[in-house]
Amino acid sequence: MPEGLSPIEAGKQSHEHANEPHRHTEPTADRHSRTIQIAEALLLSLVTIAAAWSGYAAAVWGTQSRVQIAEAATLRNLATRADLSAISTRNFDASTFNAWFIAFTSDDPRDEALAERRFRPEFKLAFDAWLATDPFRNPNAPPGPTYMPQYKLADQTKAEALDRAAEAKSNAGTQAGQVGDNYIRITVFLAAVLFLVGISSTFKLHTIRYSLISVGAVLLILATVLLLRQPGIPS
């Protein structure tokens, strides 16, 4: 004990010397804590923005998929109606041709003329082209006017065009649904980052907190790469 110090003063000095190592370690601990908090705040900010964008994109692409698939169904219904109309027209052409053929085989010019007046203009064009092939003496002639290239059904052409449009819409809807699923998958990755960063603050050990932040950063980078590979918001 130094000379001239009372027992109380000597005790105070001993206590101050004992606390000196803690005073040196406190600034370092504060720096680590501030670094971790800044890293967590930065990650949370980036993940929140990315998750919001990914969720919005998933919703938009999901809506786009449903709309296109609904449009494909509508086009298919229209194609079916046009196809049924084409079948009805073909049956009418067949019935008028049968009437003409019966009159022709019966050698009844009046009934032949009457049947021809019932021909549709489009069918009359194919009928005249068929007669020009001399079908009653030419064994290579087509079996009837409906087999001629001049025979066209507007409803049949319309039905085929609608079928192609429906197929394109269906494919586009399927693709849009796949993109929406990809965005949802990315949102799951981002939610995992939010979870890791959120629970890191509950731990006191800096090593654990740094580990959780590192894993979260890796997942965020992966999610960002996946986001950049996806198409943007559909117009």
pLDDT per position as a tens digit, 37-72: 777 788 788 888 888 889 999 999 999 999 999 999
Higher pLDDT, residue 23 or 122: 122
DSSP, collapsed to helix, strand or coil, labels residue 204 as coil
15 found inside a domain: no
163 found inside a domain: yes
* Radius of gyration from C-alpha coordinates of the chain: 42
6 found inside a domain: no
Q: How many domains does the chain have?
A: 1
68 found inside a domain: yes
Q: Determine the Cα–Cα distance for residues 214 and 40; give it in Å rounded to an integer.
A: 10
Query: Residue 26: is its pLDDT beyond 90?
Result: no
For 73, residues 6+ apart whose C-beta sits below 8 A from its C-beta are 166
31 found inside a domain: no
13 found inside a domain: no
Q: Determine the Cα–Cα distance for residues 150 and 152; give it in Å rounded to an integer.
A: 6
Where residue 212 falls among pLDDT bands split at 50, 70, 90? Answer: confident
Whole domain around residue 221: which residue ranges?
A: 38-229
Give the model's pLDDT for residue 74: 96
Cβ atoms of residues 230 and 179 within 8 Å: yes
In degrees, rounded to 5, the angle at the alpha carbon of residue 47 between the alpha carbons of residues 41 and 49 is 105
26 found inside a domain: no
pTM above threshold 0.85: no
82 found inside a domain: yes
- 139 DSSP assignment: T
